[in-house]
Structures are given as C-alpha cells and as structure tokens.
Copies of this chain bind each other. A is one copy, B any other.
Amino acid sequence: MQTSSLAPEGKLELELTARGIRMTRQRRVILGVIESAGKHLDAAQILRRASRIEASINRVTVYRTLNLLKKQGLVDELDLLHVRGDGHYYEPRPARHHLHITCLRCGSVSELESALFERLKGQVQREFDFDITIARVEIGGVCSKCRK
C-alpha cells in the first residue's frame, strides 16, 4: 500500500481528532511541519515552514496551536540552553524522556535515551514522593568536531 501524498494523517492529528478536538486546515499544516521536521524548530521557524504550504497562516495561530499541543501533552517545549535567542523549541513528545545535548559552539543537538536517566527519575519519585510529568535534561558544552 502507498501513502497518500496529500495530507497523510500524522500521529498528532490522529491524537487530537481522537480526543474530539476540531481539525482545521491551518492546524493540519502546523502539525505536519512539527512532525516532519528533522530537528527542533522554534515558533518562527514553524511559521515560516507552514507559510510556504499555506500562505495565509498567522503567527498567532502557530502559538495557539503550540499551546494546545502543550496542554494536551503532545509536544514538549525545550530551551536548548538558548543557543539562539530566548525562544523555545518544540518536539513531538517521545515515548521515553531523553537528554538533549547541545554544542554551544556549532549549535548541533544530539539526543540520548538512557537507562541511568530512568533510574534517576525513579530516585526523584521515591525521595520526594513526587509525581513526574515532565523531565527536561539539557546539557551544553563543546562537541568533538568543534574541539578539533
């Protein structure tokens, strides 16, 4: 079977629809941009990419959609140690929390899932009797390429 080339429904769209949330042309475009981005985008970048597909899309709609997705727990908001500016970066919420490792020289971002981190979260839950919903790990430094 082949995937349709027009508006293939992504996970985000399916999730929102399943939760009875209305799907609009604009939302579909924004969701598609977030899901198909190979990297973390900020609001301005999401707007720029969405605009190419649907010229009329407004900045405000991007922010409102991001807020909706955050509230639904479908995307996570990152700062990436503010390598570029004071804005936020977004990614679809992954199955497992992972670390973000940002090179402060070249801005490249690596990700890491780690059993140690799972144990660390367990420690927090136990020691503070704390119910974790978000976990953000942002590590900054210099990558091997930039050290050469």
Contact = CB atoms under 8 A, between A and B. Distances in A.
A59 to B, nearest CB: 16
Contacts of A129: 143-144
Nearest to A110: B128
Interface residues of A, number: 38
22 contacts: A79-B79, A101-B130, A103-B130, A104-B133, A104-B134, A112-B128, A114-B120, A116-B119, A116-B120, A121-B139, A128-B143, A128-B144, A130-B143, A130-B144, A131-B141, A131-B142, A132-B140, A133-B140, A133-B141, A134-B139, A136-B137, A138-B138
A68 interface: no
A96 interface: no
A53 to B, nearest CB: 28
A99 interface: yes
A88 to B, nearest CB: 8
Contacts of A117: 120
